[in-house]
Structure 1
Amino acid sequence: MSTPHEDPYEEVRASPEFQALKRRFRRFVLPASALFLVWYATYVLLADYAHGFMSTRIGGSNITVGLLFGLGQFVSTFVITTVYVRWANKHFDPAAEELRARVENAPGSRR
């Protein structure tokens, strides 16, 4: 795969397989991150500027809309993490493992 004087990591970084892997990662992570940041910013802005709405009690209890939004932050964090792990296990990790195996088994590799 590389001559003794070439850095094998540079060759991997320049490979079409690695570039495709990076694109696949970005196609998932960037939209998920943007969605979460919008959701979080909405929560923060509502908490700061919509006191009446956020302090609305639900069903006559002591539970408010703000509390539910706050708990929703935790829930959304766990949901995004679970979705990412499942996606990575199914789509990203197999391709990364295949690329790693190819690099490690290439002639001239240091392993």
Structure 2
Amino acid sequence: MQPSNDRLSGAGGGSENAVDHRGVADLRCAETPESPGYDDPWYDALASGWGEPAGAGVPEPAALPSMRPEPAQAPPRAAADVYLEVQRSAAFQEVRSRYRRFVVPAVAAFLVWYLAYVVTATTAPALMARPVVGSANVAMFAGLGQFLTTFLLTWAYARHARLRRDRAALELRWDTHELTRGVRGGASS
């Protein structure tokens, strides 16, 4: 696509649409000296403290009442106590054990396979140089097998996480958020 060369955007590219803006000041920039030289719909809605001095005319947002009914007030707990309680829970221990039951054997198997490849390549170069198909030898297929097993292991990990751990971990996250919500004074993060 060619640049517009100061032509208005629209149908046709003839001389009737050509406009020379070089001598005319941009009205948007002339209205407010702090405004950017481009039309940014989010510029007026900057977050408080992002390039604006305090009291720059942006009204403070009103505190909205909570949509949920507040439960009976329990004694206040520290966030550390909440996280320790979650860590000791049976649900958390189950998620961690599912994680370990997959990761420990998978890492051990891959490490053994990788070290076997490296040791064989250094101690038995004649075996690795043996041709298999044409000029492709055992070392080339073993090296490609390293890549293949990396991708297969990544796929298996993602599948295991999706099927065995994600739902339980999401429920734990939700429960933890609900428990810490009271600690933070009703503010949601």
TM-score (norm. length: structure 1): 0.89
- Residue 37 of structure 1 corresponds to 111
Structure showing greater relative contact order (alpha-carbon pairs closer than 8 Å, 6 or more residues apart): 1
> How many residues are treated as equivalent by the alignment?
110
Distance 1:97 1:76, change over 3 A: same
| Root-mean-square deviation over aligned CA pairs | 1.9
Distance 1:2 1:53, change over 3 A: farther
Give the percent of matched residue pairs that are identical in Structure 1 and Structure 2.
40
Alpha-carbon distance in 1 for matches of 2:107, 2:114: 10
TM-score (norm. length: structure 2): 0.54
Structure 1 stretches of 4+ moved >4 Å: none
The offset of 1:16, in angstroms, is 1.5
Preserved CA contact (<8 Å) 1:2 1:108: no
- Residue 148 of structure 2 corresponds to 75
- Residue 86 of structure 2 corresponds to 12
- Residue 103 of structure 1 corresponds to 176
CA deviation digits over 1:22-46, x for unaligned, max 9?
Answer: 1110000000000000100110011
Preserved CA contact (<8 Å) 2:130 2:137: yes
The offset of 1:2, in angstroms, is 8.3
Letter in 2 for 1:85: A
**Structural mapping, 1:41-56, within 5 Å:** 41-56=115-130
The offset of 1:102, in angstroms, is 1.5
Structure 1: runs of 5 or more not aligned:
none
Letter in 1 for 2:142: F
